[in-house]
Amino acid sequence: MRAPRVSFLVVVAMVVASGTGCVHAPWNPYGGWRVARTKHFAMYTDTRYIYGRTLEPLEIAYAALASSLFKNTPIAPVEVLFLEHDKFVGMLGHYRAGSSHGVAVVKLPGEGNIGDKGLIIVHEGARIGTAAHMLAHMFLSRMAPLAPLWVHEAYATYVETIQLRGSRGSGPAVACLGHLGAGEPTIPLDDLFTWSWGHFDQSKATEWYQTTGSLLIDYFLRGEDGSLRERFALLMARLAKGQDTKSVLAELFPDLPVPVIERRMKEHRKDSEMRPRGLCPLEFPVAADDMADMGDAKESPVPKPDIETLFLRARLLPRRAGYVDFFPRRVLSVEAVLAK
Amino acid sequence: MKRLCARSRWLRLALLLALAPAACGPMYIYGHTTHQVLAPRAAGCVFGVLEAPPPRDFDEIGILAPEDIAFGSTAGGSTSFVDQVRDQVCQAGGDAVIVERDWQMNYERATVIRFKP
């Protein structure tokens, strides 16, 4: 028997090479997807069981937030795209996969049947802190669409330590807030109030930015023996209307210029480290309607074109290799993305 | 000797297969972001590559983005990038693209625009 000629082998090899070399995804990546529905979520997934471990903290975080800071702002059902870690990395980069474990998108670019009222994208590493952070962005976007970026990140980071107690029948269910998170460094308040979304992304200091915002919220809520709370509520109401932070601060806190707030905020943090706050510093009862749905999700198939469109639109997001975990509606415009 | 030749053929084949993934260049996908349906421009059309939004009025008609960002699928040089997206830009009827680059200065995304008359 004659051996195949070299040229034939080379041709076969090249055909195989060209085929394998340009396959960027497994065959049929958009087939076989399902939506898993609970009381508050519609989670799109191609996994069998592992999505449940992320759906549960999302339900708990929803119940806790809907009972505390975001009462009377129903946003259910929240749409969630659940990706396994490697797919998440391909979609949104290594940093987000390792740090924030998810992103919150107010509106995907283009149009489609999924994600038009917002979308959370997470992988299996997301736990209750991530779930609360992402959901806070979604609640705030509905409640105060004009709120500045720092308010978003401040609230979203502040609620990362939220807990739901008594949700499994061990007493009345309550949401607990008011613990400070990890002791990251802070940035100047002038930066916090002025950075654009693009600047925030490129700063390489996203966690410091978030910590500073969260600390400022805590100072306004708990600092100076709680005497700032009323004016803080007015501040938030004005910022929700899109007013400028520094102008409103100067008007509502004439006795506290920004450098003084910054100094006292840092003192408040130092002081807080010395005084344990107890198990539940700020307690909010959970109404029966808001309780977390811990039952089995109901699964149904999703048409392949819907998933294909969903992936295409998610890939059109800006700064996919970047650091931000929140995509407000305004970044649908390239001018906002590139704004200094 | 015959055996040596056969081995060499298999080695060549193995080498080609090993090089296959490297042959795969970046791949950009295109998505419409507007209801406007524009007439396509001629194949091989010339379009502008802008690093910032231009002073002229324009409409954003679509976005070009890498399919996968984690494994080196963004183009590094402008010639390579333009060649890769030319068909999509011309087919979409775009006059120019506004590019966004990542920290390695690779082309991470581009917004296809049409100038207003």
Task: Please name which of A84, A87, A85, A82 lies closest in space to residue A24, comparing C-alpha atoms.
Answer: A87
Mean of pLDDT values over A134-157: 96
Q: How much of chain A is helix, strand and coil, in % rounded to 5? A: 50, 10, 40
Average pLDDT, chain A: 89
* pLDDT greater than 60 at residue A14: no
Render pLDDT for A75-101 as a digit per residue (tens, 0 to 9): 999 999 999 999 999 899 888 888 889
| Subunit contact B27:A316, Cβ cutoff 8 A | no
A92, closest residue in chain B (CA to CA): B69
Residue A183, burial from CB neighbour count under 10 angstroms (0-12, 13-18, 19+): exposed
| Subunit contact B27:A24, Cβ cutoff 8 A | yes
Q: What DSSP designation does B26 have?
A: -
pLDDT at B54: 96
* pLDDT greater than 80 at residue A228: yes
Q: What percent of chain A has pLDDT over 90?
A: 69
* pLDDT greater than 70 at residue A173: yes
CA angle A23, A25, A27 (to 5 degrees): 85
Per-residue confidence band for A338, with pLDDT thresholds at 50, 70 and 90: confident
| Contact status of B1 with chain A (Cβ, < 8 Å) | no
CA angle A288, A289, A291 (to 5 degrees): 65
At A300, is the secondary structure helix, strand, or coil? strand
Q: Which candidate in A9, A316, A335 is best for mutational testing of the B interface (most B CBs within 10 A)?
A: A316
Mean of pLDDT values over A128-141: 96
CA distance A161 to A129: 6
CA A42 to chain centre: 16
Mean of pLDDT values over A16-34: 63
pLDDT at B35: 82
* pLDDT greater than 60 at residue A46: yes
Render pLDDT for A263-305 as a digit per residue (tens, 0 to 9): 999 999 998 888 888 888 889 999 888 899 999 999 999 999 9
Q: Which candidate in A315, A319, A329, A337 is best for mutational testing of the B interface (most B CBs within 10 A)?
A: A315
**Which of A3, A94, A315 has its CB closest to that of B65?**
A315
Render pLDDT for A182-204 as a digit per residue (tens, 0 to 9): 678 999 999 999 999 999 988 98
Residue A62: enclosing H or E segment and its boundaries? helix A52-67
Residue A266 contacts by C-beta under 8 Å, 6 or more apart in sequence? A186
pLDDT at A180: 84
Which of A103 and B16 is assigned the larger pLDDT?
A103
Predicted confidence pLDDT, tens digits, chain B (117 residues): 555 556 666 666 565 555 444 445 558 899 999 887 889 999 999 999 999 999 999 999 999 998 887 765 566 666 688 999 999 999 999 999 999 987 778 888 999 999 999
CA distance A252 to A230: 10
CA distance A40 to A96: 24
What are the chain B neighbours of A322 within 8 Å (beta carbons)?
102
Residue A298 contacts by C-beta under 8 Å, 6 or more apart in sequence? A36, A37, A38
Per-residue confidence band for A226, with pLDDT thresholds at 50, 70 and 90: very high
Task: Provide the token pair at A329.
Answer: 């509606």
| Subunit contact B33:A20, Cβ cutoff 8 A | no
Render pLDDT for A62-71 as a digit per residue (tens, 0 to 9): 999 999 999 9
Per-residue confidence band for A16, with pLDDT thresholds at 50, 70 and 90: low
**Which of A9, A17, A321 has its CB closest to that of B102?**
A321
**Which of A89, A90, A110 has its CB closest to that of B33?**
A110
Task: Map tokens 């975990």 to a residue.
Answer: A325
Mean of pLDDT values over A302-319: 95
Task: Please name which of A172, A107, A178 lies closest in space to residue A137, comparing C-alpha atoms.
Answer: A107
Per-residue confidence band for A153, with pLDDT thresholds at 50, 70 and 90: very high
Range in A41-55, A200-214, B96-110 the model is least confident about: B96-110
pLDDT at A23: 37
Residue A79: enclosing H or E segment and its boundaries? strand A78-82
CA distance A318 to A331: 8
Q: Is-contact B5 A2, C-beta < 8 A? A: no
Per-residue confidence band for A106, with pLDDT thresholds at 50, 70 and 90: very high
pLDDT at A178: 87
Phi, psi of A18 (to 5 degrees): -65, -35
pLDDT at A21: 42
* pLDDT greater than 50 at residue A58: yes
Q: What DSSP designation does B115 have?
A: E
What pTM was estimated for this model as a whole? Answer: 0.86
Which of B6 and A220 is assigned the larger pLDDT?
A220
pLDDT at B102: 79
At B98, is the secondary structure helix, strand, or coil? strand
What are the chain B neighbours of A10 within 8 Å (beta carbons)?
12-13, 16
pLDDT at A127: 94
Which of B2 and A325 is assigned the larger pLDDT?
A325
| Contact status of B24 with chain A (Cβ, < 8 Å) | yes
pLDDT at A25: 46
